[in-house]
Structure 1
Amino acid sequence: MFTQAFGPFSSLVDLTVLLDTADANKKHGFDVWNTAPNPSDAISKWKTWLDLPDTAKAAIERECDVGDIAAELDDTLEKHNLYSHLSLERKKILSDFDKEHAKYQPKKRKRVPDEVYDDPDIDAFKEKLENISLECWSLPPQADLFVRRALPFEHNALSKTKECKATSSKSLQAKDVLLYITVYDKSASHPYQVWKSSSHILPSTSTLEDIWNAIPCPAKEYPEEVLADDGSLVEFDTSRTTDRGPCFCVHGATYGDGGDAQYAQKVLDYLATCKVPPNRPRVTLKPGGLISDTTLDSLPLILHFPNWILHNGNCEHYFAVTHIRLRHPSDPVDGYPLTTHLTPVSRGLCRICDFVPASHAIVNDLRLDDSPFVVCKRCLDFLGEPTSYNDSRLVVPLVEHKTW
């Protein structure tokens, strides 16, 4: 399962050797960010370009210029009617492909045809697209073999890179290497599959605690229960959460946060006492340090190797280092960890109005069909307070994703 989800594992990566090799190359005049196969080739080609007459340079620049294409693309994106037309046409093509090859064909219903608007700009735009002479521009029927809808975790909720909060952000150091880390969660519908939930960029001097603070998880925001003297549940305190820190398992060692929960020690105690079938080897782990003191450059790093995180009961995550590179002059200095990908979270709609995302769940209300019953704040106020015959009703606030 791990090899299919995360890819083939690499050999052990030593960041110290990587930095020493880069420094040695710089001393010999080799620029690690030069894309040419040989620096001398790039220099000789640049000298050849400088020796050309101005008329030849101008002719080459005119031939290679793509300014007209860029201007037309920018103009199309800025005009909302043209961009909407392109988006709707693409969705229609994908929808037609899905309907043609669906395993179960839904019953055809009469649909009201879409209203047609007379827009001269769109008519001219459509005529321009139809007159494109490229044979690969239009999608033939065979293209459906190579087209599919994006999976939920392939959508990105971020329109730009998200920086960390200023109170906990890190800055790049001179000897830092940038690590690309991808976080995976277990699929709700397929418990033996994992889906990508977020992607982050961290300096090599970051700690495991920095990874933990960057990971978005609803279990971090579960409100704390307020109990009565007899142990019965009274309400939920949204100002306090039930999360008491994580346990990281990285290459045979456990790392905790040193809090009262001590998840790392509990994992070790469980593995020491649990019964293992005779045909299965016993999992052995050794205690590590604190996540606040353990830096990433002090750990054995293997690309695409999953590392396990446990917190808040049985909430599990996996994280893997997917890419390692040297610092580039264009990289930002502050704001790390950077979040580059965040899988959108689908929140259920209110069961009453069926329009606004639900914010609360109602338990044991005799007036409602199901328990729990999710509603929005406005519909909750409309229902009113519990009556005498409904004393056992309980209102539970849903996760607001404040840490996202």
Structure 2
Amino acid sequence: MNANLSYTIDSLFGPPSDLINITAFLETTSKLNPDSTTDAETFIPDLVNECSVDDVCNTLSEVWSNPTLSAYIITDHERNVTSLHHHTQKAIKASRKTSNRDYMTLSHEVSDLQKNLDGISLSSFRLNTDAVLFMRTPKYSDQNTLKTLKTSLSCNTAPEGNEAILIISIHSKVSWSPSYVNRTSQHAFLSSQTLYDIYSSIPCVTRGFPPDAGLQDEKFSGCVVCIEGHAYSNEVQGGGANYAKKLMQQMEISNRKDSGNITVAPTSLKDTRLSSLSLRVGEPYWLMHQGNCEHFLVIDRIRLRHPLDPPIGYPLTLHIAPPILDLCRACARVPAVCSVVGDIRLGESPCLLCGPCWRNMGPSDIKEVVVIALPEYTHFS
């Protein structure tokens, strides 16, 4: 891992928690709550009613379900944020006063909504110039291509006994900056599931490449996950590459100072249940597969399974960010659809081109030129 990537990892994640032994966590919670399947509403109704926010949710739902009101709220918020950034850039230290709105120019329902908002007495409700320090523009990874939870067809039976749920985010390197990582997906796993379930759930573009790309070869079919000083590898049939052992060999060749801190795990990905591990929340765990495709697994939460959680379908996919498409290297306007390897007419190899640019180039007379279609992204939705 290079220095720039290490700095990025330290700035994006953490500080990590202490080690959490999943088995000990389940044993401790089972003693505190022997009947884990009992809904909390059956024995603490007063607390549930006191903490209920149904009235706030109903009001918000009524506003957002009204196109006129929701459009007004969004437009007004964007105008306020733009004004705050404009004032800050000009180094205006004076606090921004809320301008008087002309309620006569607004429709009746919008003016009533704005009067209710202006009547809120909370001083923290309105944005001031100091709020700019805590604002950020929307990230690409904030968007979710999923409209509902995506369940797994491989798990159709309800879990038995006390189970923990682990919320895990997958972060990947971006093509435009190899030293930066971006969240690509988020999943919910049961503690009885394995590391291989995590690996097989990752929506990675390298799995969509056609066979002629060469990534289906046995030497690229391996995977390694480094967790708390242990390198877990999957079982590769036919004598393929054992990524854990090859990782150790590579670290010895490169004389890495931390080579002694990582050992080959005694169990494979398929044999290692999450309940047998001790994990840290907020710690990025490194995963590599398909030759050199890297990801980082980050444990966001570890909690008990709630009766309202889906009974089957784990692992659940909670979020998938839209894939960042590489633009054509010729026109730099539309996404590329093919990768051309070995063509001397192009300035680089491989070269990513869109369909019209490749058709305008025409086929090459050199037999060694290989044209590989880039994967489609239909499996991400």
Give the whole-Å Cα distance in 2 for the aligned partners of 1:238 and 1:309: 17
Alignment of 1:270-309 (within 5 A): 270-276=250-256, 282-309=260-287
Q: Does 1:186 align with 2:173?
A: yes
Identify which of 94, 112, 116 aligns with 1:128: 112
**Deviation at 1:210?**
0.3
Amino acid corresponding to residue 244 of structure 2 in structure 1:
A
Give the whole-Å Cα distance in 1 for the aligned partners of 2:130 and 2:321: 31
Give the whole-Å Cα distance in 2 for the aligned partners of 1:187 and 1:381: 25
Check conservation: 1:221, 1:241, Cα contact below 8 A: no
- Other-structure match for 1:52: none
Amino acid corresponding to residue 329 of structure 1 in structure 2:
P
Amino acid corresponding to residue 308 of structure 1 in structure 2:
W
Check conservation: 1:386, 1:393, Cα contact below 8 A: no
Check conservation: 2:205, 2:375, Cα contact below 8 A: yes
Deviations 1:244-292 (A, max 9, x none): 1311222222222221122122112223444347xx7744413432211
Amino acid corresponding to residue 176 of structure 1 in structure 2:
E
Deviations 1:152-177 (A, max 9, x none): 3333333332212x146674222321
Check conservation: 1:170, 1:337, Cα contact below 8 A: no
- Other-structure match for 1:397: 373
Check conservation: 1:223, 1:241, Cα contact below 8 A: no
Distance 1:19 1:73, change over 3 A: closer
Q: What is the SS of the residue equivalent to 1:148?
A: coil
Identify which of 132, 137, 143 aligns with 1:144: 132
**Deviation at 1:15?**
3.0
Identify which of 24, 27, 44 aligns with 1:20: 27
Q: Tell me the TM-score normalized by structure 1.
A: 0.69
Q: Does 1:160 align with 2:148?
A: yes
Q: Which shifted more, 197-206 or 93-102?
A: 93-102
Note the residue ranges of structure 1 that are not aligned, 5 or more in a row.
50-59, 104-119, 226-235
Give the whole-Å Cα distance in 1 for the aligned partners of 2:71 and 2:27: 52
Distance 1:77 1:327, change over 3 A: same
Check conservation: 2:155, 2:312, Cα contact below 8 A: no
- Other-structure match for 2:195: 208
Q: Does 1:248 align with 2:248?
A: no
Q: Which shifted more, 255-264 or 83-92?
A: 83-92
Give the whole-Å Cα distance in 1 for the aligned partners of 2:73 and 2:61: 14
Give the whole-Å Cα distance in 2 for the aligned partners of 1:96 and 1:242: 56
Distance 1:359 1:96, change over 3 A: farther
Identify which of 221, 231, 245 aligns with 1:265: 245
- Other-structure match for 1:374: 353
- Other-structure match for 1:221: 208
Q: What is the SS of the residue equivalent to 1:162?
A: coil
Q: What is the SS of the residue equivalent to 1:87?
A: helix
**Deviation at 1:179?**
1.4
**Deviation at 1:384?**
8.7
Distance 1:306 1:292, change over 3 A: same
Q: What is the SS of the residue equivalent to 1:288?
A: coil
Q: What percentage of residue pairs aligned between the two structures are identical?
A: 25
Check conservation: 1:206, 1:296, Cα contact below 8 A: yes
Identify which of 147, 156, 159 aligns with 1:172: 159
Deviations 1:296-318 (A, max 9, x none): 11222333333221112222222
Q: What is the SS of the residue equivalent to 1:186?
A: strand
Identify which of 182, 187, 190 aligns with 1:195: 182
Give the whole-Å Cα distance in 2 for the aligned partners of 1:392 and 1:96: 58
More contact order relative to length (CA 8 Å, sep ≥ 6): 2
Check conservation: 1:199, 1:339, Cα contact below 8 A: yes
**Deviation at 1:128?**
3.1
Deviations 1:342-384 (A, max 9, x none): 2222224567898864433456485x898725214xx379649
Give the whole-Å Cα distance in 1 for the aligned partners of 2:41 and 2:179: 41
Give the whole-Å Cα distance in 2 for the aligned partners of 1:31 and 1:313: 44
Identify which of 265, 272, 293 aligns with 1:315: 293
Q: Tell me the TM-score normalized by structure 2.
A: 0.72
**Deviation at 1:65?**
10
- Other-structure match for 1:117: none
Check conservation: 1:221, 1:399, Cα contact below 8 A: yes
Q: What is the SS of the residue equivalent to 2:266?
A: strand
Amino acid corresponding to residue 20 of structure 1 in structure 2:
E
Alignment of 1:47-58 (within 5 A): none
Amino acid corresponding to residue 140 of structure 2 in structure 1:
P
Number of residue pairs aligned between Structure 1 and Structure 2: 349
Deviations 1:83-106 (A, max 9, x none): 334334434444454555569xxx
Q: Which shifted more, 248-257 or 289-298?
A: 248-257
- Other-structure match for 1:55: none
Distance 1:182 1:73, change over 3 A: closer
Distance 1:81 1:346, change over 3 A: farther
